[in-house]
Structure 1
Amino acid sequence: MTIILDAMGSDKYPDPEILGAIEAVKVLDEPIILVGNEEIIRPKLEQLSPGNSLISIVHAPEVVEMWDKPVESARSKPNNSMAIGVQLVKEGQGDAFVTAGNTGGAMFNALRVLGRIKGVQRPALTALFPTQKDKCIVLDIGANADCRPDFLLQFAIMGNIYAQHILNIEKPRVGLLSNGEEAGKGNELVKETYKLLEKSSLNFIGNIEGKELFGGEADVVVTDGFTGNILTKGSEAVAKLITDTLKAELMRSFSTKMGALLAKPAFAKVKGLVDPSEVGAAPLLGIDGLVFVGHGRSDAHAITSALLLANNAIKNNLLEHLRTDIANNLSIRKGLFR
């Protein structure tokens, strides 16, 4: 198994990518290809891990920056690290592509080079949220700001497959994010999507609010990319506010510092739950290839986590399951269940 890593994706590229790849190969003992400016990457790699035979470099002279517009950058920078990275997957030189770069750029290049799985209308960016019980898959979290009900139905199907084969949940509970639990609550998109999910063969449990999501009442939660992105960023901000405030309060005096020391294992567990770097990246489900997008602020640990997640998806044949299950469950013509 080989993973292709965009070495020019994160805000502080290529240092987090190089360090993350070095740690990942220690765990995986599988090759990783760094794609990016070789003149910058090679000296750093040789200094940090000289002679590492599991990490190789493919030169890509151009970079899609965070502020770049996806279509324009693809035209003006055809040899960017994202484009070359997904092309390597297309050619069979890698089994998955990981980037911490521009989400729109990753989406555009993945669609342009790899295309969609047959029957999928829109790919969805997918996140794992911590809950009181375990984890919950939420999609879409930013790939599609404007959605139709049939898009959300497909997101639910793909999230269901991901929960089955990555989280090992036999019959995932699928919920629809809304402003109320009752069937009639929500905007028109939610109301129409509810009808489709209700008719599907999924284990649909109805509308859920944020409290049910974080309470662990659902395994898969579906929403449009605009709402999902706000939910994700808002949750991350609240988690950071709580942990930063708690840390500041615990460091105020000698007695609180002693209390913090005694409670260190509990705090470490909480940090692990709310730290995005523990998951590392979100898969773009629906792309006809394994593509994972991490946060621009990713550090080395986040990159390592993203690479481990990609490796897990490869080992569990996620792409083949998506292809097969979507073909079995979707009407390609209408995007509805047969």
Structure 2
Amino acid sequence: MGQKRVKVAVDAMGGDYAPVEIVKGAVQAARRGGVEIILVGPLARLEEELASYDWKGLPIKLHDAPQFIRDGEPPAVALRAKPNASVMVAARLVREGEADAALSMGHTGAVMIAARWAFGNIEGVERPVGGGVPFGLAPRTVVLDLGPNVDCKPRQFVQFAALGVAYARCLLGIAEPRVGLLSNGTEEGKGNRQTREAYKLLRRSGLNFVGNVEGWDIFAERADVIVCDGFVGNVVLKFSEGLGAALANWLGEKLAGLLPSGEREGLVSELRGLMEVEERIGGGPLLGVKGVMIAGHGRSKAPAVEKAIQQAKLAVESHLIEAIEAEWHKVRQAIRN
């Protein structure tokens, strides 16, 4: 008997290049094997896109969702007006047991709302968090939050740490992840009021807390899980992406005339890829909700979509949600004492 396929509900209408690149990436993932794809979106649009592929023998199903979130629509308002939007339907399929995981490259706010509505939060987790491994130069360093939670209370940093530890164990295979608190210095008294209070809680958490870390420590492997609020995390993420693009452009100019164009473009592309996340891993799970929802980058094209589907498969097969619940339960008990 073959291994059971993981069923992934894919929001075909989410992202800058939807549905063209989403469908293309889903077909590639189906061909790779190990997953069953449920493409969610307006049926006529899905059939139109799939007409370009020989997909009839592939593990792909279509699920009609007549509505979707358009660019510029406020997600909370749009989702109230469109209960059958593709991202909501994809999450609903997981809640109803028709899929094991959902995936969307759409607006992060809409993805978060859909996941919280469909799954609910893990008990005691106040805010789900968006995080993962954002930097190719630090391929085993988890950073969270990366955007959704810009104002955080000290205890929420501890929640982020517990979620990140479970992620590092399940998806990266790190047995005892080290936790660092991103700050403006390594000394215990550094940081603002929130991070100083978070430091005290993290020290009591029972996690493998190594103290404050600075920005350069992200790339120095001083910690496996680095926690910060979403404001800081998103600034770090966007700065890194911008720096990667600037360095790639600079390198291309310096190497012009020194190397053949193909070799030069390969080096420039490799450098750019090391500083960006979407082409490497495609997306990451929203942590803290009671179901697997992968949120991808809006600029994702087919290779990133395929990799995000593989992330969904790995999250399901590694029992990520159960691991998060167990880790958070231990930490919650520790900081109560």
Query: Which residue of 138, 149, 153 corresponds with 2:143?
Result: 138
What is the CA-CA distance between 1:185 and the residue it aligns to? 1.0
What is the CA-CA distance between 1:324 and the residue it aligns to? 2.6
- Matching of residues 110-189 of structure 1 within 5 Å: 110-130=115-135, 134-189=139-194
Partner of 2:93: 88
Kindly provide the amino acid, as one letter, of the partner of residue 34 in structure 1: L
Residue 157 of structure 1 aligns to a residue in which SS?
helix
Q: Is the 8 A contact 2:27 2:55 kept in 1?
A: no
Paired with 2:131 and 2:336, the residues of 1 have a C-alpha distance of: 22
TM-score (norm 1): 0.92
CA distance 1:155–1:337, change in 2 (3 Å): farther
Partner of 1:316: 318
Q: Is the 8 A contact 1:137 1:159 kept in 2?
A: yes
What is the CA-CA distance between 1:118 and the residue it aligns to? 1.4
> Kindly, what percent of the aligned residue pairs are identical?
36
Paired with 2:159 and 2:310, the residues of 1 have a C-alpha distance of: 26
Kindly provide the amino acid, as one letter, of the partner of residue 326 in structure 1: W
Partner of 1:3: 8
Kindly provide the amino acid, as one letter, of the partner of residue 173 in structure 2: N
Partner of 2:104: 99
Q: Is the 8 A contact 1:131 1:213 kept in 2?
A: no
What is the CA-CA distance between 1:290 and the residue it aligns to? 0.5
Paired with 2:134 and 2:89, the residues of 1 have a C-alpha distance of: 31
Partner of 1:307: 309
TM-score (norm 2): 0.92
Kindly provide the amino acid, as one letter, of the partner of residue 274 in structure 1: M
Query: Structure 2 stretches of 5 or more lacking a match?
Result: 1-5
Paired with 1:299 and 1:65, the residues of 2 have a C-alpha distance of: 18
Consecutive aligned runs of 4 or more in structure 1 exceeding 6 Å deviation? 263-266
- Matching of residues 283-298 of structure 1 within 5 Å: 283-298=285-300
CA distance 1:28–1:43, change in 2 (3 Å): same
Residue 133 of structure 2 aligns to a residue in which SS?
strand
Instruction: Say yes or no: does 1:241 pair with 2:223.
Output: no
Paired with 2:194 and 2:51, the residues of 1 have a C-alpha distance of: 53
Partner of 1:327: 329
1:86-107 CA-partner distances (Å, limit 9, x unpaired): 0000001111111000111111
What is the CA-CA distance between 1:36 and the residue it aligns to? 0.7
1:273-314 CA-partner distances (Å, limit 9, x unpaired): 334211111211001100111111111111011111111111
Q: Is the 8 A contact 2:148 2:230 kept in 1?
A: yes
What is the CA-CA distance between 1:260 and the residue it aligns to? 7.1
1:211-268 CA-partner distances (Å, limit 9, x unpaired): 1111221100000111111111111111111113212332x32xx124973x787666
Partner of 2:274: 273
Paired with 2:265 and 2:80, the residues of 1 have a C-alpha distance of: 51
Partner of 1:282: 284
Kindly provide the amino acid, as one letter, of the partner of residue 273 in structure 1: L
Q: Tell me the C-alpha RMSD between the 2 structures.
A: 2.0
Residue 57 of structure 1 aligns to a residue in which SS?
strand
What is the CA-CA distance between 1:62 and the residue it aligns to? 1.0
Paired with 1:116 and 1:275, the residues of 2 have a C-alpha distance of: 29
Query: Structure 1 stretches of 5 or more lacking a match?
Result: none
Partner of 2:195: 190
Residue 211 of structure 1 aligns to a residue in which SS?
helix
Residue 244 of structure 2 aligns to a residue in which SS?
helix
CA distance 1:54–1:145, change in 2 (3 Å): same
1:55-94 CA-partner distances (Å, limit 9, x unpaired): 1111111111342222211111111001111000000111
